[in-house]
Structure 1
Amino acid sequence: MNSNNLSLFVVVLGTLMSAIDTTIVLLAIPTIAQELRADLSIIIWVIIIYLLVIAVFTTQLGRIGDIYGRSRLYNMGFLIFTIGSALCGASLSAVDLVAFRAIQGLGAAMMQANSGAIIADIFPPNKRGRAYGYTSIGWNAGATLGIVLGGFITTFIGWRYIFYINVPIGILAILLGLRYIKTNERRKVKLDILGMAFLLASLSLIAYGSADIAGAGVRSLNIYLISGGIILLLIFFLLERRQEFPIIDLKAFKGSRVFTYSLLASFLQTTGYLATAFIIIMYLQGIRGLSPFDASVLLVPGYVLASIVSPFTGRLSDRIGARIPATIGLGLMIIAVLIYLSIGLDTPLYVVVIASVIGGLGSSLFFPANNSAIMANAPRGFYGGASGLSRTLANIGTLLSYAIVLSVASVTIPREVAFEVFLGTTNLIGGVASSFLIGLKSAFYVSIGILVVALILSALRGKEARAQLSTDKS
């Protein structure tokens, strides 16, 4: 392997690890709560804080990479991620674990913010689709491993090892990164501290309010929390218009239509689709009575297919541009959610597998093509900002995706039952199961609506001249 491929290997490994830790805690939460004797309203933040830190800090860490060097920030991120993982495994209380997950999320944000820009530095525009295809493998494989390993390790080894497993891999990646990832392009920018504060406050209020709906039902407190979060988010966007180097550069959306629509399609795809696996796990575990491990295994074929196909679809986007494969991919995801809508209390489980495979194929078409379009059409010198902006929107979408699921799917059954189901601590039967299924399907309808908008934007993004981009930017 030459140095470029070794650099790509480390970037893919970082994507893999950060994706694993997005999902690995989902099936371990009940065991963690019992062992640490934690209140469920606290332990849910083990999931939320990781997503929240990544969503808020990614863009600014991409900017810092522009200033001090992307390779330096990426390697430092892997170090912080590894240390945070070790601390998570050694946690003595739920509060400790939440704090250490924030450290782990900071390291993951540093990696995510600079990974796309590192690829853009190393590979010319007409070859980035293949490289982003491999990062898509890392993400899909990480999501698969996170779900499966979370159930397996927690059941047979112990929940602390879902974090300890990162330590030897992180040490290897740090050594390889220090040797092979070397990108020196830098530029002077300023940080948007005020913007980070408003975004953090806004997303925290929205996330907390959504979790409170699942735990206590619709009440004045969570309405005030979510409303306050939305107001702060609007203020955040008003402030961003006046910042020289904002977290979300609204001016970037006034440039290339391909760049703008690709960013928006990515955000909406993440918001509309990412938590569908979480919903299905709740269906399989809460309604069908499967164990967490057995429930996760049914989703593996879709992720495996996506991992295998992604490099080939990445090469396809290098030849014909992103519009066709990305739009077809979104269409397949919509079909997958429509199949999920057909499930009932006794639907054959192979239906879930079929939907997972179709959704996995859609993901393999969408992600490498769309990511390649974003970076290929980003202004030169804005690679770090474009990579960070893309990841920030996707991470905000991830947080909102879980918030939508928690809010929409839980309003149809008793609050205390809903919260326990989301944490995998109880099974539902009879009329309560039917009511919960209605809630799940309501979340699927919302998902379809968001994905349809993403498909329209993808189809209208325009056709790329990828070969010309290669000549202009190489």
Structure 2
Amino acid sequence: MNSSNLALMVIVLGTLMSAVDTTIVLLAIPSIVEELHTDLFTILWVIILYLLVIAVFTTQLGRLGDIYGRAKLYNLGFAIFTLGSALCGASPTAISLVAFRGIQGIGAAMLQANSGAIIADIFPPNRRGRAYGYTSIGWNAGATLGIVLGGFITTFIGWRYIFYINVPIGIVAIILGLRYIKTLETRKVKLDIAGMASLLVSLSLIVYGAADIAGYGIRLLNIVFISAGAIVLLIFLLIERRQEFPIIDLRAFKSNRVFTFSLLASFLQTTGYLATAFIIIMYLQGIRALSPFSASLLLVPGYVLASLVSPFTGRLSDKIGARIPATIGLALMIGAILIYLNLTLTTPLFVIILASTIGGLGSSLFFPANNSAIMANAPRGFYGGASGLARTLSNIGTILSYTIAISISSVVVPRYVAFEVFLGTSNLIGGVASAFLTGLKSAFYVSLGILILALIFSAIRGKEIREKLSDKP
């Protein structure tokens, strides 16, 4: 393997580990709650804080990569992620676990912020689709491992090892990264402290309000929190218009149509689809009485297919551009949602496998093509910022996706019932099961609408032929 491919291998490994820790905690929640003697509302922040830190800091850590070197920030990110993983595994209390997940999130944000830009540094535009295809493998394989390992390790070894497993892998990745990931390009930019603070406050208020809905139903307090978060979000956008180097550079959306619409399609796809696995696990666990581990196994075929197909779809986007494969991918994801909307209390379980497989194929078409389009059409000298911007929007979408799924699906049943289902300690029957299924379908309807918007932006992004960009640095 040449140095570029070895560097890509380390980047794929970083993508895989980051994706694993996005999902691996989901099936360990019941064991964590029991051992640390805490409640669901507290332990939800083990998931939320990790995503929140990544969403807020990714772009700025991409900027730091532009200043000090992306290789340095990427390798430092691996070190921090590995340290955070070890601390999470050793956590004595729920609060310390939440705090250490924040440290782990900072490391993951460094990895995510700089990986796309490093690929843009070491591969020409006509080869990036293939490279992003392999990172898509890392993401899909990580999502698969996160769900399956979360159930397996928690059941047979103990929940702490879902974090300890990162330590030896991280050490090997640090050694390989220091040797093979070397990029020299730097830029003079400034951090957007005001933007980071306002985005953090906005997302925290919105997510806290949504979590409160899951815990206590719709009430004045959570409406106030969500409304305040929306107001602060508007303030954040106003701040961004005045910053020289903002977190979300609104000027980048004016650079060209392909770049702008690819970013919007990515954000909407993440918001509309990422929590689908979580919703389905709730259906299988809470209504169909499957164990979390058994439920997760039904989703494996879709992720496996996506991992196998992604390199080929990445090559396809190098040849014909992103619009056709990415749009077809979104159409397939919409098809999967339509199947989920027809679930009943007795639907044969092979239907879940079918829908998951269709959605996985859609993901394998969408991600490598769309990511390649973003980086290939980014403004000149803006690779680090474009990579960070894409990741920031994607991670905000991830938070919103889980927020929508948890809050909407739990509104139609009593609070204690929703908590028991989310914790895996109760199975629903009769009228309560029908009501909870109605809540899950409500979440799917919202996802469907968001994915349709993503498909529209993808379809009208404009045509690009990647070979014509091969001389672009």
User: Corresponding residue for 1:144?
Assistant: 144
Q: Deviations over 1:415-454 (max 9, x none)?
A: 1211221232321111100000000001101000000000
User: Corresponding residue for 2:315?
Assistant: 315
Q: Distance in 1 between matches of 2:68 and 2:408?
A: 43
User: Corresponding residue for 2:460?
Assistant: 460
> Equivalent residue of 1:247, what SS?
coil
User: Corresponding residue for 2:443?
Assistant: 443
Aligned residue identity for 1:51:
L
Query: Does structure 2 retain, via aligned residues, the 8 Å contact 1:216–1:416?
Result: no
User: Corresponding residue for 1:369?
Assistant: 369
> Equivalent residue of 1:92, what SS?
coil
> Equivalent residue of 2:145, what SS?
helix
Q: Is it true that 1:399 corresponds to 2:399 in the alignment?
A: yes
Q: Distance in 1 between matches of 2:423 and 2:206?
A: 19
Q: Distance in 2 between matches of 1:93 and 1:382?
A: 42
Q: Distance in 1 between matches of 2:423 and 2:439?
A: 16
User: Corresponding residue for 1:341?
Assistant: 341
Q: Is it true that 1:227 corresponds to 2:242 in the alignment?
A: no
Q: Deviations over 1:47-99 (max 9, x none)?
A: 10000000000000000000000000000000000000000000000001000
The alpha-carbon deviation at position 468 of structure 1 amounts to 1.8
Query: Does structure 1 retain, via aligned residues, the 8 Å contact 2:319–2:465?
Result: no
Query: Does structure 2 retain, via aligned residues, the 8 Å contact 1:51–1:398?
Result: yes
Q: Distance in 2 between matches of 1:235 and 1:423?
A: 36
Aligned residue identity for 1:44:
L
The alpha-carbon deviation at position 24 of structure 1 amounts to 0.2
Give the gaps of 5 or more residues in structure 1: none
Q: Distance in 1 between matches of 2:279 and 2:150?
A: 16
Q: Deviations over 1:21-55 (max 9, x none)?
A: 00000000110010000122111110100000000
The alpha-carbon deviation at position 408 of structure 1 amounts to 1.2
The alpha-carbon deviation at position 301 of structure 1 amounts to 0.1
The alpha-carbon deviation at position 467 of structure 1 amounts to 1.6
Aligned residues: 473
Q: Deviations over 1:266-301 (max 9, x none)?
A: 000000000011000000000000000000000000
Instruction: State percent identity of aligned pairs.
Output: 81
Q: Distance in 2 between matches of 1:370 and 1:8?
A: 18
Instruction: Map 1:348-387 onto structure 2 (within 5 A).
Output: 348-387=348-387
User: Corresponding residue for 2:165?
Assistant: 165
Q: Is it true that 1:134 corresponds to 2:134 in the alignment?
A: yes
Q: Is it true that 1:270 corresponds to 2:270 in the alignment?
A: yes
User: Corresponding residue for 2:305?
Assistant: 305
Q: Distance in 2 between matches of 1:70 and 1:393?
A: 20
Query: Does structure 2 retain, via aligned residues, the 8 Å contact 1:26–1:423?
Result: no
Give the TM-score normalised by the residue count of structure 1.
0.99
Give the TM-score normalised by the residue count of structure 2.
0.99
User: Corresponding residue for 1:77?
Assistant: 77
Q: Distance in 1 between matches of 2:421 and 2:211?
A: 13
Aligned residue identity for 1:64:
L
User: Corresponding residue for 2:123?
Assistant: 123
User: Corresponding residue for 1:417?
Assistant: 417
Q: Deviations over 1:178-218 (max 9, x none)?
A: 00000010000000001100100111111111111011000
Cα RMSD after superposing both structures: 0.6
Structure 1 runs of 4+ aligned residues shifted over 6 Å read none
The alpha-carbon deviation at position 455 of structure 1 amounts to 0.2
